[in-house]
């Protein structure tokens, strides 16, 4: 190590070239070690950091250089991981990824390099299944704040994306309801109507649905015939009124 500069001089290397070579070696060492460790353990532990500190010393790197190489290596690994996840995104994988980044203190935009467009896709991919299943409803929206803060997205941006998702899912549900009713399969629309009722609570019934009058009244009558004996009567009436607004039969 002490003869490194002398040896480089014998080879005719400038100090700048030697530093460049040293950085390249350090980058390769860090990349290999960080990728292996994160693949096996998910994140780096204290023992890993001690090993990297030793490598930093042996390579003659400053603390700032070592930190920069570490950030670059982690960014590379996390970027590859999110690319793989987005090929087939699932709420579980997305949640695990953003929580890992949060635990590592890595900002998804600044540190990992995830674009604003991809953040929106991540938000939609995690929120949409929860909306459809009812895990996210008007009485349980804390998870939305948790996802928004974890992704470090602007609240207004998330609100817009969320509302658009609600409107899109409501239209999809209404299209399926119309199709089933046309085929005389009224029994198949029960869960779909309940889904739409959940969505009405987010937007005060304003789901921008285009529903023919006959279909609208049929849907409402089916919902009104549900067994609400175990439900809060006030909430049931509120849901009925919101459904009327969504179906375009307000005041009828």
Angle (CA) 203-127-77 rounded to 5° is 150
Residue 218 has pLDDT above 50, yes or no: yes
Place of tokens 């070592």: 66
Q: What is the mean pLDDT of the chain?
A: 85
Quick one: average pLDDT of 11-27? 57
pLDDT digits (tens, 9 = 90+) for 166-191: 999 999 999 999 999 999 999 999 99
* DSSP string over 186-226: GGGGHHHHHHHHHHHTTTTT-------HHHHHHHHHHHHTS
Residue 72 has pLDDT above 60, yes or no: yes
**Cβ count within 10 A of residue 136:** 24
Angle (CA) 158-166-178 rounded to 5° is 165
Residue 2 has pLDDT above 70, yes or no: no
pLDDT at position 12, please? 52
**pTM (predicted TM-score):** 0.78
Residue 44 has pLDDT above 80, yes or no: no
pLDDT at position 67, please? 83
Measured CA to CA, the distance from residue 123 to residue 109 in angstroms comes to: 14
Confidence bin at 99 (pLDDT 50/70/90):
very high
């Amino acid at each position: 190590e002490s003869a490194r500069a002398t040896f480089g001089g014998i080879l005719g290397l400038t100090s700048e070239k030697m530093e460049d070579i040293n950085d390249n070696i350090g980058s390769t060492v860090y990349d290999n070690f960080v990728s292996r460790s994160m693949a096996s353990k998910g994140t780096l532990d204290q023992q890993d950091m001690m090993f990297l500190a030793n490598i930093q010393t042996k390579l003659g790197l400053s603390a700032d250089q070592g930190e920069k190489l570490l950030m670059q290596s982690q960014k590379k690994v996390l970027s590859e991981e999110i690319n793989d996840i987005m090929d087939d995104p699932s709420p579980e994988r997305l949640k695990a990824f953003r929580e890992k980044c949060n635990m590592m203190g890595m900002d998804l935009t600044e540190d990992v390099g995830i674009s604003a467009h991809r953040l929106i896709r991540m938000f939609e991919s995690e929120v949409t299944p929860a909306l459809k299943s009812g895990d996210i409803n008007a009485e349980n929206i804390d998870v939305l704040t948790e996802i928004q803060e974890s992704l470090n997205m602007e609240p207004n941006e998330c609100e817009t994306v969320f509302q658009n998702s609600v409107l899109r899912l409501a239209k999809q549900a209404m299209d399926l309801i119309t199709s089933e009713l046309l085929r005389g399969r009224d029994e198949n629309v029960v869960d779909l109507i309940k889904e739409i009722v959940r969505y009405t609570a987010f937007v005060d019934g304003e789901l921008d649905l285009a529903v023919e009058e006959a279909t609208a009244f049929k849907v409402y009558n089916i919902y009104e015939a549900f067994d609400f004996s175990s439900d809060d009567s006030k909430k049931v009436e509120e849901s009925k009124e919101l459904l009327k607004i969504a179906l375009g039969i307000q005041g009828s």
